[in-house]
Amino acid sequence: MDNMQDDKLLIAGHQFGSRLFTGTGKFSDKTTMINALIASKSQLVTMALKRIDPSGQTDDILAPLIANQMKLLPNTSGAKTAEDAIFAARLTREALGTNWIKLEIHPDQKYLMPDPIETLKAAQVLCDEGFIVLPYIHADPVLAKRLEQVGCAAVMPLGSPIGSNKGLASRDFLEIIIEQANVPVIVDAGIGAPSHAALAMEMGADAVLVNTAIAVSPDPVAMSRAFAMAVESGRIAYLAGLGQVNQHAIATSPLTGFLD
């Protein structure tokens, strides 16, 4: 499409040329990680904050990300309550000098389902403190609106559980969120194949966040490229406009007989 050059994603005043966001977890090593992220063309990458071991080797993942001009989106992973998440957000602002935060609160370790009540509570506080809050949520259209109303810069509904690679199990609800949202919708979690990412973009998602599917691939760099192409393809298809779905056949050739 002619207008693809102008099709930028804007979040809280920051412009992104790529609609594929990537996580930094689960890669076999730092070199593979950075090569995969570069191949993805991602301009926004997530990371976590943890206590660091003063007796052990530290692995500075930030230097190559900053050197490649990637915007950092620290998360609040590990938080089980709003209070935990608020503390984690303040720590990341102090450590990394960014007020962007991926708010995620999941008390359940098996399914890592985000806690909607704690998430809304934390979002309210963090937005009031000037954070750019991108909350990870279940595909709950009501919660998405509530988070938008308290000032979140985007919403990040899940496709399926984190790391499950099960794709858009929440598709029907994602469609409602996308239809109703006045802030960017970033489909996060569970995207296990480029086709899942393409589908999300065809549905009108503003971006997708992918981590596990790239990191655990035997060839993360090639998989990154595949995701980048899928996201771009899905976005072009969305902008071009998909054909209507029909229950019955609609002929693409004249149905008149040869001899009529």
Partner 1 sequence: MTETNEKSVVVINNQYVIEISNRETTLVDVLERLNNDNFPLGQHFAIAVNNSIVTKQRWSTHSLNHEDKINIFGAIAGG
Residue 162, interface with partner 1 (CB under 8 A)?
yes
Q: CB 166: neighbour CB atoms within 10 A?
A: 16
Please tell me the distance from the alpha carbon of residue 194 to that of residue 213, in angstroms, as a whole number: 9
Look at the block and give the residue holding tokens 């000037």: 130
Please tell me the distance from the alpha carbon of residue 155 to that of residue 180, in angstroms, as a whole number: 12
Q: Residues touching partner 1: how many (CB under 8 A)?
A: 40
The one among 3, 52, 182, 259 contacting partner 1 by CB under 8 A: 52
The one among 24, 42, 170, 224 contacting partner 1 by CB under 8 A: 24
Cα torsion angle, 14, 20, 24, 25, sign = positive
Q: How far is the CB of 8 from partner 1 (least distance, A)?
A: 24
Active site residue 8: no
With beta carbons less than 8 A apart as the criterion, state whether 211 and 191 touch: no
Phi, psi torsion values for 9, nearest 5 degrees: -95, 130
With beta carbons less than 8 A apart as the criterion, state whether 20 and 235 touch: no
Residue 138 makes CB contacts below 8 A (sequence gap 6+) with 113, 114, 116, 157, 158, 170
Residue 123, interface with partner 1 (CB under 8 A)?
no
Residue 129, interface with partner 1 (CB under 8 A)?
no
Single-letter residue type at 64:
P
Query: Per-residue contact track with partner 1, 196 to 215, x per CB under 8 A?
Result: -------------x-xx---
Residue with Cβ nearer partner 1 (36 or 133): 36
**Residue 122 is encoded by which pair of tokens?**
């934390």
With beta carbons less than 8 A apart as the criterion, state whether 186 and 206 touch: yes
Query: 116-128 and 82-96 are packed helices; what angle lies between their axes, rounded to 10 degrees?
Result: 40
Find the catalytic residue in 50, 71, 102, 110. Answer: 102
Residue 221, interface with partner 1 (CB under 8 A)?
no
The one among 12, 38, 96, 216 contacting partner 1 by CB under 8 A: 96
Please tell me the distance from the alpha carbon of residue 191 to that of residue 198, in angstroms, as a whole number: 10
Residue 31, interface with partner 1 (CB under 8 A)?
no
The one among 40, 92, 124, 160 contacting partner 1 by CB under 8 A: 92
Q: How far is the CB of 73 from partner 1 (least distance, A)?
A: 10
- Give residues 174-193 in contact with partner 1 (rule: CB under 8 A): none
In Å, how far from its chain's centre is CA 125? 22
Q: How far is the CB of 120 from partner 1 (least distance, A)?
A: 22
Residue 44 makes CB contacts below 8 A (sequence gap 6+) with 16, 21, 22, 70, 71, 73
Residue 62, interface with partner 1 (CB under 8 A)?
yes
Residue with Cβ nearer partner 1 (49 or 125): 49
Residue with Cβ nearer partner 1 (227 or 238): 227
Catalytic residues: 102
Give residues in contact with partner 1 (CB under 8 A). Answer: 23-27, 33, 46-62, 72, 74-75, 77, 87, 90-92, 94-97, 162-163, 209, 211-212
